[in-house]
A and B are shown apart, each in its own frame.
Chain A
């Protein structure tokens, strides 16, 4: 049965604050082979005007991936995760994530489309800092493959 489009607009409680560690950013940068000094060396990041090392562009996935679970585990949607593939991903940035940030993700269902026996659900994660100021927004389109 196609996913009910009336769930568009549903939002989920904010995630618990995620404290961004300097070593976590280094670990993430190393895992993707990113050697820019600003990801590794606080002095290099300070020279660019940041208080500590900054994170590579796709680092918000560490926060949005976790907050996406609220949608994937929503019993009303009853998504079969074994049929889910990641279709599209978009990030929009107010500023880079900086070590020391306490980030909160707020998840909303932005779009639901059913086509060719497959469902497409786009979730939006608004990532803010401890003071509630915007840091980045992430949109993930998940494809739920039909059983045909």
Chain B
């Protein structure tokens, strides 16, 4: 079963806000000069911000903010965030993959930015509520 795709805009302002909230002040997330010096195309989003957006999708799909039992991702590609008003967009989709012995639902998740997959092996296990009904 495919779950409805969700789209999340990400701007430079979001990166600044996330840096403050999470405590991750690595300059690759706010300083183009530094980011290009270490070989990146420019400022990139925190991997953990991308994971947090996926977490929003997962709790929305599950229908409960406390439904997540296990949640894992591999950061396969950076999410560059241009210095303009619109920034970029992360698109999150998922398929229901099955049920665990405990009766939890396993989701296989895809996150795409600019036509490229930015996560691989992304997976969440949630307490079944509205899913699959």
Contacts and interface: CB of A to CB of B under 8 A. Distances in A.
Contacts, number: 103
Interface string B1-39: 000000010000010011011111000000000000010
Interface in B53-99: 53, 55-56, 58-59, 64-66, 68-75
Contact of A90 (B20, B66, B71): B71
Contacts of A36: 59, 65
A89 B72 contact: yes
A78 interface: no
Contacts of B38: 82
Interface of A: 24, 27-28, 30-34, 36, 38-39, 48, 50, 54, 56-58, 61-62, 65-66, 82, 85-93, 95-96, 139
A66 B71 CA distance: 20
Contacts of B59: 34, 36, 56-57
A33 B11 CA distance: 12
14 contacts: A27-B21, A31-B22, A32-B21, A32-B49, A32-B53, A39-B65, A48-B64, A57-B59, A61-B24, A82-B38, A90-B73, A91-B71, A91-B72, A93-B68
